[in-house]
Structure 1
Amino acid sequence: MLDDLDERIVHALAGDARRTYADIGQSVGLSAPAVKRRVDRLRETGAITGFTVRVDPAALGWQTEGVIELYCRPHTSPEAIRRGLERYPEIVSASTVTGDADAIVQVFAADMRHFEQVLERIAGEQFVERTKSTLILSPLLRRVTATPPA
């Protein structure tokens, strides 16, 4: 578990990973070296797994976004699903879920035809029994990190 200062540091970095330790320290009430020590510790313990950039998918040519529900053949393991999906560059996330579907896959595609081709390829995977897809019209809210539970 992270303490309050660690959480505030993580949220500051999630909002902008290029912020300086001094800037973060000023907002959380610590010196730059103290922030650096905490960030180093958070990386060592695995609470922070890396630093990245967030890019608008449209800037990379991804104009279409959709979610595909996967309904898998009996006895398909999550590892088999992951292995089957990891080679698709269009898939930005895949998760097992509760409910009727076995997994949900988030896909970015260049256009509708490209999305359809990806959907057809995924539906053709040996472990997939059927799919159900939904196209995203307008993302309303995307957060990098959620507020921690109280």
Structure 2
Amino acid sequence: MGSEYEIDSLDKRIISELQSDARKPFLDMARKCLVSGGTIHQRVEKLRENGVIKGSSISVNHKKLGYGVEVLLGIHLVNAKVVSKVIKKLEKFPEVVQALYTTGNYALFIKVITKDIDGYHDFLVKKLQAIEEIRSTESFICLETPINRELKLD
């Protein structure tokens, strides 16, 4: 973000409003924030230009669409130099919805969503474990996601 633009309390309020509903009309936010719609529009554009806001999204209930298995996988690599190469390969798999480059026991953690356990097994054996740069993996099947939220700003 540019050094000339600093986030203030109005920006934080706008971000909070958008986090609760990314489709919320600017005029509704303006009324809540006690400013004009034009002010909200300008602030949102400034936040986008400075990379604070990246796009907008909806939250999908994957289980309702028939994707009932969610797995977190810890990945050990053959060495740290291959992480970029592995990430490029992981990007090609639609089952991989998130990848985290981490410190600690695993070089990478990925989140995988499949329709069922057989689909997960196929992904694991035929795709993930076929990547030569991966030394080993450990799977953690998610039973429930009791907390799933955006970071609330101070």
Equivalent positions of 1:16-31 (< 5 A) are 16-31=21-36
d(CA) in 1 for partners of 2:58 and 2:137? Answer: 31
Q: Which residue identity is paired with 1:30?
A: V
Tell me which residue corresponds to 2:148.
142
d(CA) in 1 for partners of 2:93 and 2:139? Answer: 16
Q: Does 1:80 align with 2:85?
A: yes
What secondary structure does 1:108 align onto? strand
What secondary structure does 1:76 align onto? helix
Q: Which residue identity is paired with 1:56?
A: N
Tell me which residue corresponds to 1:33.
38
1:60 Cα deviation after fit = 2.7
Q: Does 1:97 align with 2:102?
A: yes
Q: Which residue identity is paired with 2:129?
A: A
Match of 1:15 among 8, 14, 20: 20
Q: Does 1:125 align with 2:131?
A: yes
1:76 Cα deviation after fit = 3.1
Is the CA contact (8 Å cut-off) linking 1:76 and 1:127 kept in structure 2?
Answer: no
Q: TM-score, structure 2 length as denominator? A: 0.90
Q: Which runs of 5+ in 2 are unaligned?
A: 1-5
Q: TM-score, structure 1 length as denominator? A: 0.92
1:18 Cα deviation after fit = 1.0
1:78 Cα deviation after fit = 3.1
Q: Which runs of 5+ in 1 are unaligned?
A: none
1:37 Cα deviation after fit = 0.6
Tell me which residue corresponds to 2:3.
none
RMSD: 1.4
d(CA) in 2 for partners of 1:75 and 1:51? Answer: 33
Tell me which residue corresponds to 2:71.
66
Tell me which residue corresponds to 2:61.
56
